[in-house]
Structure 1
C-alpha cells in the first residue's frame, strides 16, 4: 500500500494543496486512514476536525474543507465503519444548506463515491441525501422569501442529481431509497413549510429520472399523509368567516349542523385552542393538496397523467375509499379526472360502479363506493351525459335484480347496500335529471328503466333513504313525468326517522357525499371550473316555479315567505304519513332537514343546498 509521508508541520500545506498533486493528496489520506488501525490517530483526528461544522468559515478554511472532501472521495475504499466512525459522524453532520457551491459539490462527490464503493454504505448515503430534502430548522422560514429560491434550487438540484447518479452506479439503490424517503417524511404535525418542501421533493422523485423505480410508492405515501391530516380536521376548523361568500347556502348548512353539535361542551379557551390548531391543519392540508394538483397538471403536460392515475387509483381504494371521515383528500382523484375526463374520468366512475356491484367486497366498502359514485356523477361537470346515464342504468339494474330475489321484509340494517344504491340513483338524478331528460335518446333510456318497481317494492327505499333526497327526487320526477304523475308513493315523514337512521349504521354512510363543495380556499379555486354547484343546477320544476313567481309579481299584491308554503303541511309532523307526489311543499320546521328550503323572494328562488349534511356528521368527529 502506497502512502505519502507528510510531517505534521506540512499538514496544513497538504490540506491547502500547496505544491501537492491530487494523487499525492489521495495517497496521504489513505495513509492517515490506514494508520488508525495501528493506533496512530494524530493526523486522523486533525482530519476529522476539519469536517466538523463551523460558523463563518473564511476562504482558507473553505479551501481546506474542499481539499479534504475531494481527497476523501478518492480514498473511500479505505474508510471503515468501525475504525472511522468519528469521520462518518462528522460527515453526516455536514449540510449542503450551510455551504457555498464549492463545498456542496465536494460533499456530494464524497457521498456518491462512498455509496458506489461499498454496498454497506448505500443506505447511509441515501439517508444523508434525503436529509437535505428539508433545510435546517433555522433556515425554513427564510426560504419562504423569493430571494432565497436560488439557494433552495442550488441545494436540491444537487441532491436529486446525486440520487440519480447513485441509482446508475448501484442499480438496487432506488428500491432502498423508497422506504427511506417514506420513513423520513415529516409527521402531520410538523411545520407547514417543512412538510410542503419535503413533499415537493417526493413528487420530484416521482417525475424524475428514477421515477420508474420509486414513483409507485411516492404518490401513495403522499395521499396517506393527506388523509392523516384530513381526518384530524373538525368542521369548526374549516368554517371561517371569509369563506361564507364563496359557498353561499351550501356552507350555511354546515354551519347550522356545527352549531347544533350537542356533544360540544368545551370551555371558550379550549374552543379557541382547538380552532387554532384546526386552522393550522387546514392550511397545511390545503397547501399539500394544491401541490398535488400542480403535480397532476405537470403529469398531464408530460403525457404521464394516465400512468400516475393508475398508481393513485389502487391507493384510493386501499385507504381513502374506506376512510369515511375524509373530507378533502378525495379531490386529488377528482382533479385528475377533470384533467382527463375521457380516460381517468371514465375509469374512476366505472371502477366505483364495479366495486359497488361486486359481492366480493365488504358491505361497508360497497356503500362507500356508491356514495363516492353518486357524489362524483352529481358534481363532475366534465362527465358526459351518456356516461352518467349508463351508470344510472347499472345501478337501477342492480337494485331491481335485488328486489326480484329479496322476499324479506323491510330491514334497513339487513339491506344497507341495496338502500345505498337506491339513494345514489335518486341523488344523481336530483342533479342530472333535467339535463338527461333534455336529450331524447337518454330520456327514453331513463323512462324505460324499472325504477318505479324499485320504489314500490316491499323494501320501501323511499321510507328508508334520506328524506331530503327522496323529497327532491320525487319533486323532480313528478315535473319530468319520469313515472306516473298520479301515483302516490309512501315514504316516511320528512323528519329523519329511526328507519332512516338505521340505514347508515353507526358510521352514517347514508349521509356521506364525498364530493360536497371543497371548503379549502386555495384548493377550491382549482376545483371550481370543473364542479357542479347546486345553485347552478336547472331542475325539472324550474320552469314551473318561474311561472309561479311571474304570476305573483303580476298580481301586485304583497308576498310573504309563507305564501310559498302549503298550509296543509302543518299536519305532516306525525310519523309514517302517506304523502303523495303532489304534496311536496314544506313548512319552516320541516325545512330544517330538507334539501329544498322554503322559497324566499328576498334571496331569489332558493333550492336544494347541495350539502344535505356535512359529509361526516359533526357529532362523529
Structure 2
C-alpha cells in the first residue's frame, strides 16, 4: 500500500509512463472501493482525497473523479469526505492563480470545474442525501475577506452555478444568503475614511455635483469617485462579487427564475443588510434586481420597506432604517412607476399626519425619532420628485393639506431633520406653491424663519443607502437605472430650455376646465383606484425628467460622497 500511496503523490513533472501508471491505479481502485477499509487504509484514502485536479491532465482528472464518485457511493462514511474534496477543487492551488489570467489557465479552469460539478451531480443522484450535506461544506469553504480576489471570485462562480443547477431546489436557497453575508463582511471592512471628502459642510445635494470646468486637470466625476477606492483590495473584491451577482440575476431573469431568487434575496436583505449600519454598496444587489423586474420585484421591495416602517411591531431603529431605504429607493430608481412613487409618498404622509393627531404635544424629540425619520423621507423624495408630482393637481391636492399640518405641528419636524434636506425641500415647495396660507401658518414664514434658514438645530441620524455607487464595475450596471442629482429638474429651475413646449401642453391640459376649479370627491379619491393610477402614470411619464425605461443619462458628477458623516452612523 505504501507504493500505491507513493504513486498518488503528485510530482512536479509526470512522464507519460507515470501518467499511465497513475490512471491505471486510480481505475483499479475505483473497481475495488468495496474493499477499501477506512481504518486499515486511512493513508490511502487521504492520499486520494488530497489530490488536486488542477495539477493533472484530463485523463487523470476523469480517472480520479470516477474513483471519488465510487467511493462516495460505496459507504456513507465517505460521502462528506468526497464532497469536501470536490468543494476544495472549486479553487486552484495558490501558485496557479496567476495562470488564470492566461488562455491556458482559463482552459484548465473550464476542464476542472465542469468535471467537479458533474461529479457533484452524479454523487447526488447516487446518494439522495448528499445535496443536504453539500450546502454546509460549500458555505464553510467560502474564502474569507482576506483572501485574494481570484480565489473568492472563482469560488463564488461555483456557488452561483450550484444555485442555478440541478440541485438548486435543495442547495439553491443557501447559496445567495451566504454570498450576501460575505459581501456584507467585505462592505464593512471599507472604512468611511476611504471614501469621504474633507469638506463636511457641503449640502448633500451639492456634494454630488461639483464640476470645475476651469481646472483642466480636474478629473471627471467617474474617475474621481472611483479614484478614492482605487487600490483598495477589499473594494475591488466586493466590486467583482457584485458584478458576478448582477450577471447571475440577469441569467435568472432570462430563465424566468428572477422572482424566485428575489424572494430569497429579500429575506437575506432583511436579515443581514438592512441592519448593517455600515453597509455602503451591498444593497445595490437589491436595487439591480428591482431594476430588472420593476413591476414585481421593484414593487415588492418598496412595499416591504413601507410596511416595516408603519408597523410598530418592528424596533424603532429598524423602522428608521427601512424608511431611509425607501426614501433613497424612491428618489433614485429611474425604473419606478410614477403611481407607485405617488402612492407610497401618500402612505408616508398619511402615517405622519395621523401620528401628529395622536402626539400633538411638546415632549422630548428623542421619543419621536421614527416620526422625524418619516418626515425626512417625505422631504427627501420630494426634493427629487417635487416638480413632476405637484404638476399633477390631483396629487397636489392629496398632499398639500396633510403636509401643511405636519410641518406646523408642535413636534416641529423641520427642527429635527437634516438641514440640507429641509432647505432644499422648502425652496422647492415654495417654487411649486405646494402650500397656501392657512390661518396663522404661512409657508413664506417658514422660509424666512431662523429655524428654516439654518435648517434646524439638531441632525437626525439617518443615511440614504442608494447614494451613487462608487464601485467602478458595478456602476456600469447601475447607471442606466439610476437618477443622479444632476439629472433632477427642480421646482425652482426656471431655465426656459428645460420648460419644453410639450411639458407646457401637458400642464395646460391638466389645469384646464373643471379639473382644478371644481374640486369634488372624485378629485381626492384613493390612490388605490386603478383608473386614477393609470392617469397619474400617463401624465408623469410624459412630464418626468427621466421617462420610464429611458437609458439616457448624464455623466457622473465630479465629486461624490455619502450623504451622511460617519459619526452619524
Instruction: Pick the TM interval, shorter chain.
Output: 0.7 to 0.9
Partner residue in 2 for 1:459: 411
Partner residue in 1 for 2:332: 379
TM-score by length of 1: 0.74
Partner Cα separation in structure 1 for residue 455 and residue 408 of structure 2? 20
Higher-RCO chain (CA-CA 8 Å, sequence separation at least 6): 2
Deviations 1:256-299 (A, max 9, x none): xxxxxxxxxxxxxxxxxxx9997111111111111111111111
Partner Cα separation in structure 2 for residue 55 and residue 147 of structure 1? 18
1:376 and 1:515 in contact (8 A); partners too: yes
1:163/1:299 CA distance change after superposition, 3 Å: same
Larger radius of gyration: 1
Between 318-327 and 69-78, the greater mean CA deviation after superposition: 69-78
2:332 and 2:483 in contact (8 A); partners too: yes
1:97 and 1:155 in contact (8 A); partners too: yes
2:423 and 2:452 in contact (8 A); partners too: no
Partner Cα separation in structure 1 for residue 390 and residue 11 of structure 2? 74
1:278/1:220 CA distance change after superposition, 3 Å: farther
Secondary structure at 1:542's aligned position in 2?
coil
Deviating beyond 6 angstroms after TM superposition, the runs of 4 or more aligned structure 1 residues are 275-278, 544-547, 609-613
Partner residue in 2 for 1:290: 243
1:423/1:382 CA distance change after superposition, 3 Å: same
Partner Cα separation in structure 1 for residue 361 and residue 141 of structure 2? 54
Partner residue in 2 for 1:91: 48
Within the candidate set 486, 489, 499, 1:538 is matched to 489
Matched, 1:47 2:35: no
Within the candidate set 32, 46, 61, 1:104 is matched to 61
Partner Cα separation in structure 2 for residue 201 and residue 491 of structure 1? 59
Partner residue in 1 for 2:469: 518
Matched, 1:66 2:18: no
- Give the CA RMSD over aligned residues: 2.6
1:433/1:520 CA distance change after superposition, 3 Å: same
Partner residue in 2 for 1:618: 566
Deviations 1:437-472 (A, max 9, x none): 23444344334x511111111000011111111111
Alignment of 1:254-269 (within 5 A): none
Q: CA deviation at 1:52?
A: 1.2
Partner Cα separation in structure 2 for residue 149 and residue 180 of structure 1? 25
Deviations 1:42-95 (A, max 9, x none): xx2222221111121111111111111111111112212211110012112211
Matched, 1:134 2:94: no
Q: CA deviation at 1:383?
A: 0.2
2:27 and 2:67 in contact (8 A); partners too: yes
The answer for unaligned runs of 5 or more in structure 2 is 198-203, 211-227, 499-556
Partner Cα separation in structure 1 for residue 495 and residue 133 of structure 2? 65
Partner residue in 1 for 2:266: 313
Partner Cα separation in structure 1 for residue 230 and residue 402 of structure 2? 50
Q: CA deviation at 1:543?
A: 1.8
Q: CA deviation at 1:234?
A: 1.9
1:237 and 1:278 in contact (8 A); partners too: no
Q: CA deviation at 1:249?
A: 5.7
Matched, 1:302 2:255: yes
Q: CA deviation at 1:615?
A: 4.4
1:479/1:66 CA distance change after superposition, 3 Å: same
The answer for unaligned runs of 5 or more in structure 1 is 1-43, 241-246, 254-274, 505-509, 548-608
Partner Cα separation in structure 2 for residue 468 and residue 239 of structure 1? 17
TM-score by length of 2: 0.80
1:233 and 1:278 in contact (8 A); partners too: no
Q: CA deviation at 1:544?
A: 6.7
Deviations 1:345-380 (A, max 9, x none): 010001000011111110000000000000000000
Partner Cα separation in structure 2 for residue 282 and residue 370 of structure 1? 27
Partner Cα separation in structure 1 for residue 205 and residue 155 of structure 2? 35
Partner residue in 1 for 2:375: 422
Matched, 1:492 2:451: yes
1:238 and 1:279 in contact (8 A); partners too: no
Partner residue in 2 for 1:566: none
Partner Cα separation in structure 2 for residue 472 and residue 152 of structure 1? 54
